């Protein structure tokens, strides 16, 4: 693990629903496994549109999953989604631009893919797509034969992050299903449940769950109660 490695934002671009992709170049390479997270720290700057509220300190540090593939050494990539109470994420999504300095520490976490995992299912909601996308990219970049199926839940079509890339990744051993909970459309509708899994999931060896706590807990419950999946075959990352 490396600590406080200087980093500079090299790219920022929208990925849907007001969210941004933040790419950083680091002063030295930071090896990590697909799915892990880093701690990123910076001094926030106030302006007319952004104020540091509730007596918080200007220097803030938070955990962010890496959405880039470990085989891509050009940058580290993070997904920032603004929500009502996501103070630091809101700053990244709204105010960070090319050249902004950061410090990065990591990697951290036991939520990661290993090459020997052959048939995996990725269950995600909202910004929980970040590490799952990193896993899909890694499988593609390393040309692994592992089957990976993503089921990705969002409220509306506009909330689907990284949609075009996910669609581009799909084909052959990588596949996806988008499902919406608050909008009618031609695709899958409703929350991820046992019926949806029975229809779209077959012969999975490992399940990766990522999203808000209620989502992850419900996925755990379904896998245990409906499919008798042992805990050791379920990896989870909870976003508060």
In a domain? residue 89: yes
pLDDT number for residue 97: 94
Asked if 34 and 135 count as a contact pair (C-beta separation under 8 A), the reply is yes
Q: What's the domain range around 19?
A: 2-108
Q: Could you tell me if 11 and 53 lie in one domain?
A: yes
User: Tokens 């509730």 appear where?
Assistant: 54
Residues 138, 92 share a domain? no
- Backbone phi, psi, residue 119, to 5°: -125, 110
Structure tokens of 35? Answer: 């799915």
User: Domain tally for the chain?
Assistant: 2
pLDDT tens-digit profile, the chain (240 residues)? 899 999 999 999 999 988 999 999 999 999 999 999 999 999 998 888 788 877 889 999 999 999 999 999 999 999 998 876 678 888 999 899 999 999 999 999 999 999 999 999 999 999 999 999 999 999 999 999 999 999 999 999 999 999 999 999 999 999 999 999 999 999 999 999 999 999 988 888 899 999 999 999 999 999 999 999 999 999 999 987
Same domain, 134 and 225: yes
Domain stops at, among 73, 108, 143? 108
Q: Is 164 helix (H, G, I), strand (E, B) or coil?
A: helix
Let me know: does 174 contact 148? Beta carbons within 8 Å. Answer: yes
169 part of a folded domain? yes
Judge contact between 7 and 103, C-beta under 8 A.
yes
Residue of 125, 123, 239 whose CA lies nearest to 180? 125
Q: Are 192 and 211 in contact (CB under 8 A)?
A: no
Distance CA 190, CA 234 (A): 23
User: Is 17 domain-assigned?
Assistant: yes
93-97 long-range Cβ contacts below 8 angstroms, 24+ apart: 93/18, 93/19, 93/20, 94/49, 94/50, 95/44, 95/45, 95/47, 95/49, 95/50, 96/9, 96/12, 96/20, 96/22, 96/42, 97/9, 97/12
> Which CATH number do you get for residue 153?
3.40.50.80
């Amino acid at each position: 693990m490396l600590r406080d490695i200087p980093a500079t934002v090299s790219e920022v671009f929208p990925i849907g629903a007001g969210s941004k992709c933040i790419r950083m170049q680091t002063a030295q390479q930071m090896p990590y496994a697909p799915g892990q997270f880093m701690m990123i720290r910076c001094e926030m700057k106030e302006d007319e549109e952004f104020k540091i509220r509730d007596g918080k300190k200007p220097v803030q540090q938070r955990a962010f999953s890496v959405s880039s593939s470990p085989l891509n050494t050009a940058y580290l990539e993070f997904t920032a989604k603004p929500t009502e109470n996501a103070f630091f994420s809101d700053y990244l999504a709204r105010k960070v631009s090319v050249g902004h300095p950061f410090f990065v520490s990591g990697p951290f976490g036991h939520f990661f893919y290993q090459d020997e995992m052959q048939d995996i299912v990725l269950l995600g909601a909202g910004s929980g797509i970040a590490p799952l996308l990193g896993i899909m990219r890694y499988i593609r970049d390393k040309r692994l034969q592992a089957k990976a199926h993503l089921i990705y839940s969002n409220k509306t079509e506009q909330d689907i992050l990284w949609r075009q890339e996910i669609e581009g990744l799909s084909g052959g051993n990588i596949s996806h299903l988008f499902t919406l909970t608050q909008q009618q459309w031609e695709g899958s509708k409703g929350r991820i449940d046992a019926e949806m899994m029975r229809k779209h999931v077959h012969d999975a060896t490992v399940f990766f769950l990522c999203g808000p706590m209620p989502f992850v807990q419900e996925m755990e419950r379904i896998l245990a109660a409906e499919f008798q999946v042992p805990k050791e075959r379920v990896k989870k990352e909870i976003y508060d």
